[in-house]
A and B are shown apart, each in its own frame.
Chain A
Amino acid sequence: MNWKTFYAMLSRDGHVARRNLLPTLMQNLLQPLLLTFVFGRVLTSGGMMQGSYKNVLLPGIISISMVLSGVWAVAMPLISEFQFTKEIEDRLLAPMATQWLAVEKVVAGMIQAIVSGIVVIPAAYLMMGSGANLSFAHPLQFLAVCFLIAFLAAAGGLTLGCSIGQAHIGLMFSLIIAPMIMFGCVYYPWSFLKAFPVLQYVVLINPLVYATEGLRGTLVPQIPHIPIPAIIAALVVMDLVLLVVGLNRFNKKAVS
């Protein structure tokens, strides 16, 4: 394995990400902060929601920020670079087995997802105003969950990026991303779905559920959540499945 090449590609992605820092930050931050403000601040201060809703919402916001930024960071460049211009070809011709390029993309996506999480946590917390009670009693579990979420996002981005053509980006958003967010337990804990028993089990195929519930379980354990060991197990399985599927699709796209 040619680590020099791998590292050079990682630094290329880092270089491009730094060049696009401002737009990327805006893209990743604006929406979560607006959501935080409207749901966490406006609705709670007006009395529509109880103040404790902030505790439910904050982990959800962090989770969608991490997942979306990771998916975006991997999927969008792949979709465009595999299209018409075939920009990716210079890296496919680099002296490294082609699928390591996919691995590199996943690592780069994970870094972006983690950075996004690191930025969103304090920003959303501040935007929320007083009232969110975050607990950092289980830092190791929290870090493990964050790592698995970043992995999930990047591997998911790889799978999506290698499955979807440029013409279908809009469709991907409305058919995949939007339902994932709505049924990803972002705005409510999973246990609230018990009134809809079928739905409650159907949503378990949605990886975002484990991401949000995992963050809830580690940041605001006082809110009912799926048990942490089950979450970690589910995230590991989903990470691996998405990685394998993504690598497969990547290989198919990379070589004709």
Chain B
Amino acid sequence: MGERNGWREETRPDDEDLTDEEVRAAIEGLTDLDRQKLIVIERRYRAGTDFAESDLLQEAICSAFERQRRCPRDVSFVRTVSMMMRSIGGHRRNALARHDGFDAPIIAGKDGAIRTPADTLAAAGLDPEAAVMERERPDVVAAALSISSDDEDVQYVIMGIADGLKGGTELQAATGLSSNRVHYALRKIRKRLGSDPEGWLT
């Protein structure tokens, strides 16, 4: 499993993770703003799944309680729960995608257009393997760039992130944008992609 934002799924020594009591204390210590952020994040990662409202957050908290996933000490608890929701939501989305019909719409292709796997199969010259690959991993960067074609700031930020630049400072230096403009660009990306997360949050 890979590392995302300092959050890892792999096994770590116990002393690097919160104990049961610390998990409980961390949950009780959540502020109202933390709770609001978790609801915003839950809404994002619940998209494209069959989880009912709040079920994904409940599942993530259960994972923390039951130690199905690790709670690293060096990562804030809100981020850990967010990453759990991202992971659980992603697994559920993938599981559902395997059961989708061949006519289920997805975002695919460099133009970011919505197509079905059946369309993709025809476009790929009747190559089933290519169709499956495109269905499993659509070119989301190209799709993100195409839906932001009217906004250069957003395009610079997308390209910077896709190139591996992390944090506002690196992005500011590489794009020449101010901190506020980077923040606004990220919010635009979130809003535009968030409105159609199918095929994006894989």
Chain A bound to chain B: no
